[in-house]
Amino acid sequence: MKGLVLSGGSGTRLRPLTHTGPKQLIPVANKPVLQYVIEDLREAGITDIGVILGNNGKEQVIAALKDGRQYGVRITYIEQGAPMGIAHAVQCARDFMGDDNFIVYLGDNMLKDGVKGLVDEFMEGGYDAAISLQAVPNPRQFGVAELDSHGRVIGLEEKPKAPKSNYALVGVYLFTPVIFDMIKQIKPSWRNELEITDAIQKLLDDKRKVRSHIVTGWWKDTGKPEDILEVNRYVLDELKPVVEGTIEDGASVAGRVSLGKNSVIKSGCTVRGPVVIGDDCTIEAGTYIGPYTSVGDGCAIKGAYIESSVLIGECRLECDSRIVDSLIGRNATILSANHEVPKGSRLIVGENSYLKI
């Protein structure tokens, strides 16, 4: 079985961060979402992986993943160009797949339990396709599956105005090569995209075997800032702390805290885990870093109060404002202004930004 990871898309809901890079490379607990996807596939025994590239940040994706050897896989890059739907991206990989079965994993999705169980079930069952589902409170925002009284899939619809169930399609699909014939038969949707749900519906109409799998662990589509922050909390809840840097005497560190190489938490700091701090970071006296915060490599923080936030990396914070539930882009600088501002700032800060608050 081969893998196909989708890393195109424009990431409009994560702007301004996605003006300068793909959403799939935004880190969760200091590791890009795309890396979690690749590692999930490897754990499922899938090491021959195609990565779909779009127009936004494809060079950055290639620079991050390279040929895949550092993750124990082999990566082939496939250009899609403008995003025209999941089914279109799958069709772009036709030559790469050949006659092999394959798994499609959306590169901005994260699953607590990975995909090994789903892959094993598919390989044993003689199915033409398999879909993952999870009950959600807002099914209009997703592809939705309609199930019969026995839990079998009888219909699919993409972002329906009147959902027939609350079971959303998780961003993982498994197919045999017959899916390529189904994609040839579908037309662009009202979104002007080739919808994978329409192709799977063609399988159902053709009386093909489509398995459904209910995901019980957490699943997150990391398409919005609040999604990044939420899944960051999920991952940090399971943090196994490793301290490779220096914690000075007089620093107050409690809970599960990971500290990277050449990083230092200086005397007079307070850090309350779960927190992960990357390499080459300096946490100066007077700083408070609260639970569920990820600090990327190369950050310098002095006198700031920050909690439940993600600093992507190479950030400089010297301010007395209370920063909470914030996503701060690479190389951002946040300094105190001379005038007072309301506390508890909520920030979505793009790369190379300069703020005074």
CATH of the domain at 260: 2.160.10.10
Closest CA to 179 of 83, 79, 84, 94: 94
Residue type for position 103:
I
Closest CA to 278 of 314, 307, 249, 302: 314
CATH number, residue 118? 3.90.550.10
The answer to whether the CB of 341 falls within 8 A of the CB of 334 is: no
pLDDT band at 45 (very low <50, low <70, confident <90, very high): very high
Distances (CA, A) of 4 to 43, 134, 283: 15, 21, 40
Last-in-domain residue among 197, 228, 259: 228
Question: Which of 13-22, 42-51, 76-85, 205-214 is most confident?
Answer: 42-51
Average the pLDDT over each of 36-45, 76-85, 322-331, 341-350 and give the range with the smallest value: 341-350
Instruction: Based on the fold, state whether residues 140 and 259 are members of the same structural domain.
Output: no
Instruction: Based on the fold, state whether residues 158 and 300 are members of the same structural domain.
Output: no
Q: What is the CA radius of gyration of the chain?
A: 22
Domain count, the chain: 2
Would you say the C-alpha torsion 82, 85, 90, 91 has a positive or negative sign?
Answer: negative
Range of the domain at 175: 2-228
pTM of the model: 0.87
- Largest pairwise CA distance in the chain: 69
Residue type for position 259:
L
**Residue 26 within a domain:** yes
Average the pLDDT over each of 128-132, 214-218, 272-276 and give the range with the smallest value: 214-218
79: pLDDT strictly greater than 80: yes
Instruction: Based on the fold, state whether residues 219 and 281 are members of the same structural domain.
Output: no
**Residue 233 within a domain:** no
User: What are the start-end ranges of the E strands in 184-232?
Assistant: 210-214, 219-221
Instruction: Based on the fold, state whether residues 106 and 56 are members of the same structural domain.
Output: yes
Average the pLDDT over each of 136-145, 223-232, 300-309, 347-356 and give the range with the smallest value: 347-356
CB neighbour burial string for 77-98, b if at least 16 within 10 angstroms, e if fewer = ebebeebbbbbbbbbbbeebbe
Distances (CA, A) of 291 to 31, 138, 214, 310: 18, 28, 31, 11
User: What are the start-end ranges of the E strands in 280-321?
Assistant: 282-283, 288-289, 293-295, 300-302, 305-307, 310-311, 316-318
Closest CA to 335 of 17, 228, 345: 345
Length of the chain equals 357
Average the pLDDT over each of 52-66, 226-240, 341-355 and give the range with the smallest value: 341-355
**Residue 241 within a domain:** no
Backbone angles phi, psi at 255, to 5 degrees: 80, -170
Instruction: Based on the fold, state whether residues 317 and 276 are members of the same structural domain.
Output: yes
19: pLDDT strictly greater than 80: no
Would you give the end-to-end CA distance of the chain in angstroms? 52
**Residue 237 within a domain:** no
Instruction: Based on the fold, state whether residues 208 and 269 are members of the same structural domain.
Output: no
* DSSP states along 138-175: -GGGSEEEEE-TTS-EEEEEES-SS-S-SEEEEEEEEE
What's the distance, CA 61 to chain centroid?
Answer: 13
Q: Which residue's entry shows tokens 């045999």? A: 176
- pLDDT at site 127: 86
Instruction: Based on the fold, state whether residues 162 and 36 are members of the same structural domain.
Output: yes
Instruction: Based on the fold, state whether residues 75 and 182 are members of the same structural domain.
Output: yes
Share of the chain above pLDDT 70, in %: 90
The answer to whether the CB of 259 falls within 8 A of the CB of 244 is: yes
Instruction: Based on the fold, state whether residues 192 and 268 are members of the same structural domain.
Output: no
pLDDT tens digits, one per residue of 101-129: 999 999 889 999 999 988 988 888 788 99
- Helix, strand, coil share (%) of the chain residues, nearest 5: 25, 35, 45
pLDDT band at 227 (very low <50, low <70, confident <90, very high): confident
Average pLDDT over the chain reads 87
pLDDT tens digits, one per residue of 271-314: 999 999 999 999 999 999 999 999 999 999 999 999 999 999 89
Tokens of 320: 């007395």
351: pLDDT strictly greater than 70: no
Instruction: Based on the fold, state whether residues 22 and 144 are members of the same structural domain.
Output: yes
The answer to whether the CB of 320 falls within 8 A of the CB of 337 is: no
Instruction: Based on the fold, state whether residues 139 and 282 are members of the same structural domain.
Output: no
Instruction: Based on the fold, state whether residues 104 and 171 are members of the same structural domain.
Output: yes
- pLDDT at site 159: 82
**Residue 236 within a domain:** no
pLDDT band at 340 (very low <50, low <70, confident <90, very high): low
